[in-house]
Amino acid sequence: MFTKARFIALFAATGLLAAACATTPRPTADFQDTPFQDWSDARSEYILYPGDALEMTVYSAPSLSRTLTVAPDGRIHPPHTQAILAAGRTIDDVEAELLDALDDELLSPELDLRPASFASQRVFVGGEVANPGVYEIPGDIGALEAVMMAGGWQNTSDPSSVMILRRGSNGGAMMRQVDLLGGHSDPAHADITVLQRFDVVYVPRSGIAEFNLFVRQYLREALPIDFGLYYDLNR
């Protein structure tokens, strides 16, 4: 039965729907109120990480030459010296400290330190993708390839406003927004940002998906409103 109370409830729901349409948040490229520093595509000198392996060649004492692996605690353990912190430092920095350490053991030590292998290069892909998770970087890839590795975007995705988050060399966070669809219509607008280790690729919901989620969570499930009511009105 169509009562006054049900009419008021329906009217209120209609008002909430209109308000949701007007206030649905949209992704934007203006992040003036966020604590992110300016984005930089520059690749700084490689920083060592646990799992990286270094080939140490000691020319003045070949018996000391060996492969050193950066341990989980970030240190390497060369012979005849104390452990040296390597993680978070460049190879040149570690080589200089190694040289100083061996200077107490050898007369005029000469050595060379170079990378032998690298630990896993991983990125994090989340948001509206088929299989969010951590993925190994097979080489120089961009956000589009990372999304494809995660099973591609979904019907609720907004590929035009994908976010890439990165930790800068000074430890500060950087973020940029990329349009993964722009290159389809105009190759000049294709984003060619190469991902780096530990980058985060986040695919947001589209505006209509956010609106549909609002309707489902706050109207259909939360409010005692009969959305089949219009059938009664027609009759």
**What domains appear along the chain, each with residue ranges and CATH number?**
13-42+121-220 (3.10.560.10), 53-117 (3.30.1950.10)
Give the tens place of pLDDT for each residue, 159-179. Answer: 888 989 988 767 778 888 888
Mean pLDDT value of segment 66-82: 92
What is the mean predicted confidence (pLDDT) over 215-223?
Answer: 56
- pLDDT, average across residues 142-162: 90
Alpha-carbon distance of 13 to 88, in angstroms, equals: 55
Distance CA 116, CA 214 (A): 52
Could you report the per-residue pLDDT of 91-146, keeping only the tens digit for each?
Answer: 999 999 999 988 888 888 888 999 998 888 899 999 999 999 999 988 888 898 99
Rounded to a whole number, what is the distance in angstroms from the first to the last CA of the chain?
11
State both tokens at 24. Answer: 């649905």
Confidence of residue 219 (pLDDT cuts 50, 70, 90): low
The per-residue pLDDT for range 180-200, each reduced to its tens digit, is 887 666 666 667 788 988 899
pLDDT at 224: 53
pLDDT of residue 56: 94
pLDDT band at 211 (very low <50, low <70, confident <90, very high): low
Backbone angles phi, psi at 73, to 5 degrees: -85, 5
> How many Å apart are CA 67 and CA 52, to the nearest integer?
10
Q: 110 versus 21: which is more confidently predicted?
A: 110
For residues 78 and 67, give the distance between their C-alpha atoms in angstroms, rounded to a whole number: 9
Phi, psi of 17 (to 5 degrees): -65, -45
Average pLDDT, the chain: 76
24-57 pLDDT, tens digit per residue, is 444 444 444 557 777 777 766 788 989 999 999 9
pLDDT of residue 186: 65
Mean pLDDT of 16-23: 42
Q: What is the pLDDT of residue 216?
A: 61
Phi, psi for residue 190 in degrees, rounded to 5: -70, 135
Distance from C-alpha of 178 to C-alpha of 144, rounded to nearest angstrom:
10
